[in-house]
Amino acid sequence: MIVLIDNGHGVDTPGKQSPDGRLREWAWTRAMARSIVDGLRETGIDARTLVPEEYDLPLLQRVNRVNALCRLHGAANVVLVSVHNNAAGADGCWHSARGFLPLVAPNASRASRRLASILYAGARSAGLSGNRAPLPAGYVEQNLYICRHTLCPAVLTENLFQDNRDDVDFLLSDEGRRAIRDLHINAIKEYFQM
Ligand SMILES: [Zn+2]
């Protein structure tokens, strides 16, 4: 099994930051991806960062990297999780929406949906599911390029809101980083039933 952890955007992506500039999505997600990968490796899982580069690797190239490994090892033996921070607006202002959200593509496999709902259950029990209505399915479907075009099970995680003050404080805290890292590691282990 190979677990690929993707990280959103790049140093050259405009916007995608907290209104006060303290959290930048590309940097937070890269540090988080490395931390998840390190934690998974400690448990013996072959985990790898998909985009070690700091710039915004185009989505087509991200998909090509994933699918090359799928062709080499079999799509059933590869899993992709793409790590992002959510945003309620693109107006540079603070907003009220909070919480963790797993997303799958409309054409998602049963395996993708299972991993997404494990992640959501973990978020709920860790108190990270935020202030919006609970998701009966445990995930939201969205037409995401990286999930739609990759051959393996794929989930995109929106890790709290970069335009909510409380979420940003939590995301930048040691406690918050640990909670989000552990959420991913535990869900991926449960997905593999380890
Ligand atoms: Zn993003």
Decide if pLDDT at 73 tops 90: yes
Please enumerate, as own/partner, the contacts of 131-140 that have beta carbons within 8 Å and a separation of 24 or more: 131/96, 131/97, 131/98, 131/99, 132/97, 132/98, 132/99, 135/101, 137/113, 138/102, 138/113, 139/101, 139/102, 139/103, 139/104, 139/113, 140/101, 140/102, 140/103, 140/104
- If you search the block for the tokens 């799509």, which residue do you land on? 75
Calpha distance 138→114 (Å, rounded): 9
Ligand 1 centroid to residue 115 C-alpha, Å: 19
92-132 pLDDT, tens per residue?
999 999 999 999 999 999 999 999 999 999 999 999 999 98
5-59 pLDDT, tens per residue?
999 999 999 999 999 999 999 999 999 999 999 999 999 999 999 999 999 999 9
Ligand 1 centroid to residue 78 C-alpha, Å: 22
- DSSP codes, 94-128: --S---EEEEE-TT--HHHHHHHHHHHHHHHHTT-
The pLDDT value recorded for residue 133 is 87
Confidence (pTM): 0.97
Calpha distance 85→164 (Å, rounded): 11
Helices (DSSP H) in 43-173: which residue ranges? 59-73, 110-125, 145-149, 165-171
The pLDDT confidence band at residue 194, using thresholds 50, 70 and 90, is low
Ligand 1 centroid to residue 83 C-alpha, Å: 8
Q: Which CATH architecture best describes the domain 2-193?
A: 3-Layer(aba) Sandwich (3.40)
Ligand 1 centroid to residue 149 C-alpha, Å: 17
Ligand 1 centroid to residue 7 C-alpha, Å: 8
Ligand 1 centroid to residue 35 C-alpha, Å: 18
Each domain of the chain, given as residue ranges in start order, spans: 2-193
